[in-house]
Amino acid sequence: MKFSSTNLAILASTQFGTSSASSTCGVCSALARQLPEKVFLPNTTQYATSNIYWSDRQAEIHPACFITPESTEDVSTAIKILVSLSAPFTVKSGGHTAFDGGSNIQNGVTIDLAPLNHLNVSDDRQTVSIGPGNRWIDVSEALDPLGLAVVGGRVGMVGVSGLILGGGISYFSGRYGWACDNVHRFEVVLASGDVVYASPDENADLFWALRGSGGSNFGVVTNFDLASFEQGNIWLHNRLFPMAKSTELVPAFNELSLNGLPGDADGHTFLVMMYLAELGGYIIGDYLYHAQPPSDPQATPAVFASTATITGTLFNSTTVANVTTHIKALSEGNQNGGRKAWFGVSVYLGEGSSQLLQDIIPLYQERSEIVLATAASKNLTAMPMLVYQPITANILEQMQKNGGNALGLSPEAGPMVHIQVDTHWDAAELDEVVESSAADLVAKITRLAEERGLSAGYVYLNYADKNQDVYAGYGEESHARLREVAGKYDAEGSFRARQWDHLIPDFWSSVPPLFRIKVAEADDIEASYPLLASYATNPDAALTVNEFGIDTDRWPSRWFGFRTHDEALNDPARPVDDAAHQLLEDRARKLGLSQASTDSMLNALSWKKAHLLGQRPETPRGFREHNFEYACAAATLLLSFCKNITQVYWGQMGSCTALEEYLHKSNYGILPAESRALQQLEMARIMSVTNGLYRDTRTYRRSECLRELSYFHRLPRFANFVLDAFGDYQMHHEIFAPKSSSPSFKRIQMRRTGATGSVIGMLIRAPLNLEELVLSTGGLWLHEGDISLASLKGLHKSLLMQKDTLKVLDIDVGAGIWPRARGEGEIGWEDDADGPEGDEEWGWVLEDHAELRQNEYFAMDEALGGGPIYSHELPDTRPYGYTIGSFHDFHKLTHLSITLRAFMGPGLTFFPNANLTVKPPFRLFEVLPPNLEYLCFYDYDKGINAEIDDHVREFTEKKGELFPSLREVVGVDEKMPAGGTLYKDVGYGNNKESRLFQPVDPEFGWAVAI
């Protein structure tokens, strides 16, 4: 199984859900504008070529488009667009994953790295630079003529990236370790679009994490510098025996793996078992490789001497040939097409391991009989296999070089055998029996190994099924370190929010340690009860949870009506632990909430208990309405248990009174310290849509962004507030006191906003010391099918309150925040557009609701902070009201990205080649911050507007003298599109359902902890 970037994840969770193709078409259009001739839609030859996969389960998935980047820069451009739009995407290297969704995504965007197929050998022949678009057959065909090799794959169509990032078993692992252990350096595109390098000397933590973790929490690897070595032909002895010979072969394999191969680093072996009717039934075969062939090809290297005495072969072949020949031979039965499934499990080598490996074979045969009989009954075919591959002591020793890898394996723990449960079959009718029987076999092997003290717990990521808990076998130390590295290089979770998901674990039998949980969909809500019961009896188990997603809007119940009974009540009865339930009720009573909120939670818990017991509780408001109330109670209790949450992903919360009260009282420190939630929270990401419900409702309910900020802004470690696809059209009844946040709150990101100036201004002024602001507009559907326009002057007056701390300002506002010219000559530079009515340009005034919202929390904020609430109340500091004004006194501002239209003034709203209505009373260089290090101009087209060209030319001539720290200027010689322009074909002035931009956000999955 191969996990290329964004499919295989450290957190193994949160694949984007079932987004519609129409919702992604705007993303594909945006990509096509920036990457012409590299984005391919369905019904094209290039699309069909990219959608070829090893397993038909992958090929049956149809993305909205494929991207085929031809350079690292192309990958960077694509990632910037995809992440900024929260678009569902995945990455394909070789496409050799067995399960559906491993490296393809329905209705999303698949980045096909095939064109990145460069391969360059260094002058000293010690390093080979390889692109992720290569397959291993490409690598061997290039290196064999040079007498060189690298530690790589054994099957030709396997992709370079997936094999290396997941570990990488090789012919040469005995001498050099796995493929991931032989990388000199990675080139990586991060979620920010930045390109970084990872080696033992540069970003060493990232270098460690990429070796074995799957890589998808960190970015897209665009180049591997691999260690190369001199290599000629390889010796192979391949034999097939009747399964009865397993009583001789398995002990020989066990002895070879435990004591033979560690003494000869050039040896390599594995055992394969399968059913072949043409050979009389079940067979077992061994593959014996040696990297230093004997002078007599028919001779057997000494390390394999003990196996040479086994007689009774059905097939016997010896080959001495180059790497390419061996790869092609092993690939013959491993071609594209058909359906495939892989599961993995490991057992230790040692006392009793030979008998254990022998005793597993009847379990395999029992499983095979089920699959073969089912296939025969449907006139179909299937091939169940079992593969033993040793991880020997010398391999484990090689894994420790260069700081070790992320796999968590060590020589001290001891050598092991990885057991691969492999199945090939030809039709979807067999999917269920194949998967369920394979999972059952793995469970039986695990229990048998545990009973004998030989269970290793390790699952090789590249041979795992998507429902297996791969990372549990890495150990807690590796687990914690991987989380730390992921948070460092993808702080916002942009890649983690796009990973393949595990199915919800069966919490009724056991609750695994979790890293991320959610309360949103029906399955999550049902699974939450046994999870809560487990946490009630063992609260420490909740301390592994670091991320929390919620989407519990009550609106679905409205669409399905109000029924006394519901078919959902016909679910089979579940056991309920009365003692655990009592603990949950006691916890609800002790949270410190009002009596009304407490009673609501207790009633919801009682209703859910009756439902689970099959007692058909009364549902006068409809099942979904009652289930919504339980979801609110469950979310509240989960937050009370999970003390180490650092990130929350917030969809819709509906009218969850108890949860709102709990969040507010925790945020404002009203509750006792031991009862407060989210005291470790660092980031909150507020999203418009997480479950794809009725869009109009979701868009408008997203308007309460200031209320949601009031859940977090005073928390002791809260640092980053992200708003994704939100608007506040005539719905925002909140106000916010400036400078009322925790000192740690320093970053705000508002993506794809449709908000008015007052709301944006309040958000900007809320932090005590704002250091970073990212603001983008465009594409979000509002009621008129329009994009709201905010006052530039009001925006700047709010920014001035943060001028002493602001370091990064990215205003990507090509479609939204620009001057609104009222006609030729009607706007002067000293006109003021920021009166009370100008604060809300649609004529609605927030002050209408001020008294309603000046509650106890607002009073506490005012006491902590202070300053005018509305932007029109801020003092005027700039005479030119229709531009964003000057940043010359923003001395800490080092990174600025902005559209020139914001500086230059009216006349540029929709016609970039129009003359300025009134020439600005300043030059461009005069209004830029003096200590700039990075500057980006969005949407500037050289040669379109002579007046602006003159400003830019003058700035370019003077920048060396006036801005000595300026290292990079973007958007002068090459156009840098503004965010709004990406949506010109789907958003503005067009409210037809099929054409409107739909925000696409992750459907959060349960994630077993690493």
The CATH number of residue 66's host domain is 3.30.465.10
How far is residue 321 CA from its own chain's centroid? 42
Mean pLDDT value of segment 490-503: 54
What average pLDDT score do residues 573-579 get? 84
Mean pLDDT check: name the lowest of 106-120, 371-385, 530-544, 844-858: 844-858
Q: What percent of the chain has pLDDT over 90?
A: 51
Identify residue 837 by its one-letter amino acid code: E
pLDDT in tens, 686-735: 875 433 333 333 333 344 677 788 899 999 999 999 887 666 544 445 56
The answer on 535 and 480 residing in a single domain is no
Residue 306 pLDDT > 70, yes or no?
A: yes
Kindly state the average pLDDT of the residues 329-337. 84
Q: Which pLDDT band, with edges at 50, 70 and 90, does 313 fall under? A: very high
Residues 622 and 737 in one domain: no
pLDDT, position 456: 95
Both 796 and 912 in one domain: the answer is: yes
Dist CA 611 CA 404 (whole Å): 50
pLDDT for the residue numbered 902: 76
Q: Is residue 541 part of a domain?
A: yes
**Burial class of residue 924 in the structure, from the number of CB atoms within 10 Å of its CB (0-12 exposed, 13-18 middle, 19+ buried):** buried
Where a domain ends, among 655, 690, 709? 655
Classify residue 608: in a domain, yes or no. yes
Q: Report d(CA 66, CA 789) in Å as an integer.
A: 34
Total domains in the chain come to 3
- 108 part of a folded domain: yes
Give tens-digit pLDDT for 33-84. Answer: 899 999 998 888 999 999 999 999 989 888 889 999 999 999 999 999 888 8
Q: Do 490 and 530 sit in the same domain of this protein? A: no
In-domain check, residue 251: no
Higher model confidence: residue 862 or residue 237?
A: 237
Mean pLDDT, the chain, integer: 80
Residue 906 pLDDT greater than 80, yes or no: no
Residue 661 lies in a domain: no
Same structural domain for residues 474 and 515?
A: no
Confidence category of residue 1, pLDDT binned at 50, 70, 90: very low
What's the domain range around 646?
Answer: 504-655
Give pLDDT, residue 425: 94
Question: Could you identify the residue written with the tokens 């039934």?
Answer: 281
Would you state the pLDDT for residue 507?
A: 53
CB 385 within 8 A of CB 453: no
- Give the dihedral sign, CA 620/626/627/628: positive
E strands, 725-832, where? 747-753, 772-777, 808-812
Percent share of the chain, pLDDT over 70: 77
d(C-alpha 286, C-alpha 265), whole Å: 18
Q: Quick one: pLDDT band at residue 4, thresholds 50, 70, 90?
A: very low
Between CA 160 and CA 222 the distance in angstroms is 11
| The one-letter amino acid at 871 | S
Please, are residues 138 and 293 in contact by the beta-carbon 8 Å criterion?
A: no
Residues 437 and 536 in one domain: no
Q: Are 446 and 484 members of one domain?
A: yes
pLDDT at 823 over 60: no
Three-state DSSP at 499 gives: coil
Q: Final residue of a domain: which of 495, 528, 561?
A: 495
d(CA 600, CA 450) in angstroms, rounded, equals: 45
Q: Which amino acid is at 783?
A: H
Confidence band, pLDDT 50/70/90 cuts, at residue 1005? very low
Residues 433 and 509 in one domain: no
Residue 317 token pair: 């072949």
Whole-number pLDDT of residue 419 = 98
Q: Examine the pLDDT at 557 and tell me if it is beyond 70.
A: no
Mean pLDDT of 785-789: 42
pLDDT of residue 948: 85
Same domain (yes/no): 444, 549: no
**Plot region of 190 (φ>0 → left; ψ -120 to 50 → alpha; else → beta):** beta
Cα–Cα distance measured from residue 158 to residue 126, given in angstroms and rounded to the nearest whole number: 23
List Cα–Cα distances, 385 to 168, 282, 284, 328, 379, in angstroms.
Answer: 20, 10, 10, 20, 20
Q: Quote the pLDDT of residue 569.
A: 56
pLDDT band for 6, please (50, 70, 90 cuts). very low
Residue 691 · residue 631 · CB < 8 Å:
no
- Averaged pLDDT, 439-468: 93
Examine the domain organization and report whether 352 and 376 are in the same domain.
yes
Tell me what the mean pLDDT of segment 846-852 comes to: 44
First to last CA, the chain: 18
- Residue 862: its pLDDT value, please? 76
Last residue of a domain, one of 468, 495, 522: 495
Q: How far apart are CA 685 and CA 721, in angstroms?
A: 6
How much is the pLDDT for 499?
Answer: 44
E strands in 831-928: 895-899
Q: CB of 776 within 8 A of CB of 84?
A: yes
Q: Let me know if residue 313 belongs to a domain.
A: no
Max avg pLDDT among 43-57, 92-106, 564-578, 782-796: 43-57
CB 243 within 8 A of CB 282: yes
CA distance 759 to 791: 11
Distance CA(867)–CA(875), nearest Å, equals 11
Say whether pLDDT at 259 is over 80: yes
The yes-or-no verdict on residue 972 having pLDDT over 90 is no
- Tell whether 257 is covered by a domain: no
Please state the rounded mean pLDDT for residues 348-362: 97
Do 642 and 699 fall within a single domain?
Answer: no
| Contact criterion met (CB below 8 Å) for 565 and 671 | no
CA-based nearest residue to 545, from 358, 735, 723, 678? 678
Which residue, among 976, 605, 959, has the nearest Cα to 813 in the 3D structure? 976
> How confident is residue 786, by pLDDT bands cut at 50, 70 and 90?
very low
In a domain, residue 987? The reply is yes
Instruction: Name the E strands within 394-513.
Output: 416-425
Average pLDDT for 252-261: 97
The residue with greater pLDDT, 208 or 516, is 208
CA distances from 636 to 528, 578, 658 (A): 11, 20, 7
Q: Which residue has the tokens 């090939």?
A: 424
CA-to-CA distance for 958 and 167, rounded, in angstroms? 52
Q: How confident is the model at residue 767 (pLDDT cuts 50, 70, 90)?
A: very high
Strand intervals (E) in 807-870: 808-812
Looking at residues 441-454, what average pLDDT do you find?
A: 96
pLDDT at 83: 84
Together in a domain, 745 and 849: yes
- When pLDDT is cut at 50, 70 and 90, the band that residue 824 belongs to is very low
Summarised one tens digit per residue, pLDDT across range 925-946 is 999 999 999 999 887 888 878 8
SS3 685: strand
| Interatomic CA distance for residues 811 and 795, integer angstroms | 11
Q: Is the pLDDT of residue 562 over 50?
A: no
Predicted confidence band at 918 (pLDDT cuts at 50, 70, 90)?
low
Highest averaged pLDDT of the listed ranges 97-106, 335-344, 462-471, 820-829:
335-344
